[in-house]
Amino acid sequence: MAETVKLSGALTLDSICRVQAEVAARLSAPDLLIDLSEVSEIDSTAVSLLLHWQRDALAQGRRIALSQPPANLTSLAALYGVEAFLPSVQG
C-alpha cells in the first residue's frame, strides 16, 4: 500500500522550499501517493518540483503517483509536454 502525502494550499514559487522541506523525509517510501486535492494554486515551479521528485524516484526504483491533480497542473503539464511523466491515479 502506498504511503500518502497530502499537500495543501499554494504550490508556487513562494511556497516551494517549504513544501520540499516538509515532504523530503517521506520521499524515500517505495510507493508514494501525493494527494493534491487540497492544493489551491499551482504554477510552473510545482511542475518542476513534481518532475524532480518523479525523476529521483524512478532512478531509485521507487514509484510516485499523483492523486486528484488540479486542472491547472494538468494544463501546465500538457503545455510543457510532460504530462506522461506525472502519472496520476483516480481518487
At 10, which CATH number? 3.30.750.24
Give the model confidence (pLDDT) of 67-91 as tens digits.
999 999 999 999 999 999 998 875 4
C-alpha cell at 11: 504550490
44-59 vs 71-80: helix axis angle to the nearest 10? 70
Average pLDDT, rounded, for the chain: 93
Q: How many domains does the chain have?
A: 1
C-alpha cell at 71: 486542472
Q: Which domain holds residue 17?
A: 3-89
The dihedrals phi and psi of 60, each to the nearest 5 degrees, come to: -105, 10
Structure letter (DSSP) for residue 27:
T
C-alpha cell at 37: 486535492
Number of C-beta neighbours around residue 74 at 10 A: 15
C-alpha cell at 29: 517510501
pTM over 0.85: yes
Task: Output the pLDDT for position 88.
Answer: 85
Number of C-beta neighbours around residue 16 at 10 A: 16
